[in-house]
Amino acid sequence: MTLWGISAADAARLTVETADAVMDWTAVVLAAAGLVVLGLWLWRYGGYKALRRAPVRRHCVPLWLPFAIFFVWFLLFFQLYAMIDAYYGDPQAAEATAARNLMMLALNTAMIAVLLAAGYGLFARRLKGFGLHSKTLGGDAGWAAVNLLAVYPLVFAGVGLSLLIGRLLRGEGFMIETHQSLEELMGFEQVWGRVLVIVLVAAVVPVMEELLFRGLMQTAIRGVTGAAWPAVLLTSALFAVVHSPTHAPAIFALSCGLGYAYEQSGSLWRPILMHVLFNGISVTGSLLMV
């Protein structure tokens, strides 16, 4: 079958090549713009000195609490995951994939409720002290985009480091694997399945992870270290460890940017919106390749 003199196979190939080219140029533009913003930040704030006057959050979050919450989530996730796979028999079946995503949506939504309750009960000024003040949301949206832009060059550098290490250890054929959720997004033929993954990846998961890792864990660690940057770096290392090893350098860089945004502004909206935007861009790139 041809379309205006081009075979369907050629049309599909050209579509993929065009999408790849657009994403490559988008990455170049983002990296270049990000380098400018990052350079201005280094010049204006002096890098490490930027958090000297970071606002203090008054709270009574014990150090063990965020780790205990994560441990419970981890156990529930793998137990429910195993139950779904056992029920459907074939983990690759579309029904099993959909059930896992529905389970993740329910589990992470419940986690968000638990984390908001913890923030309400453990921070002075309740959720405002946690960093969720409705009056700052508009300004945080703009700054989230600026902060994310500054972090992008570091994220790309992390990807490059992963590729370099991988090819040194495994040969020239090494490639960074696509995140499982993005693979599922590209594999779903039904619109509802794609919408489910988009909501999960671009909205629910970023909110849950920021409430846990930035809101509770980074705050608890800062309460022990007494300084913002060590808390940012330690939390980022933990955040990277719980993700795929091949993604770890890039995730660490992104997490440092998220942690910095929280400490510098005192607003949890800012890292949440950064994370949502970052995942949204990844989802958009995957949809262009479908």
Residuewise pLDDT in 10s, the chain (290 residues):
444 444 444 433 333 333 444 456 777 888 889 999 999 998 888 777 889 889 999 999 999 999 999 999 999 999 999 999 999 988 877 788 889 999 999 999 999 999 999 999 999 999 999 999 999 999 999 999 999 999 999 998 998 898 899 888 888 877 776 666 656 655 666 777 788 888 998 999 999 999 999 999 999 999 999 999 999 999 999 999 999 888 899 999 999 999 999 999 999 999 999 999 999 988 787 666 65
Is the model's pTM score more than 0.85?
A: yes
Which whole-number Å values give the CA distances from 37 to 44, 75, 195, in the listed order?
10, 41, 33
Strands 6-7 and 2-3: antiparallel
Residues 6+ apart with CB under 8 A from 76: 107
Q: In terms of DSSP H, where are the helices of 123-247?
A: 126-130, 137-170, 180-187, 191-199, 205-209, 219-225, 228-241
H or E element that contains 96: helix 94-122
**Side-chain half-sphere CA neighbours of 228 within 13 A:** 23
- In whole angstroms, give the CA distance from residue 215 to residue 262: 8
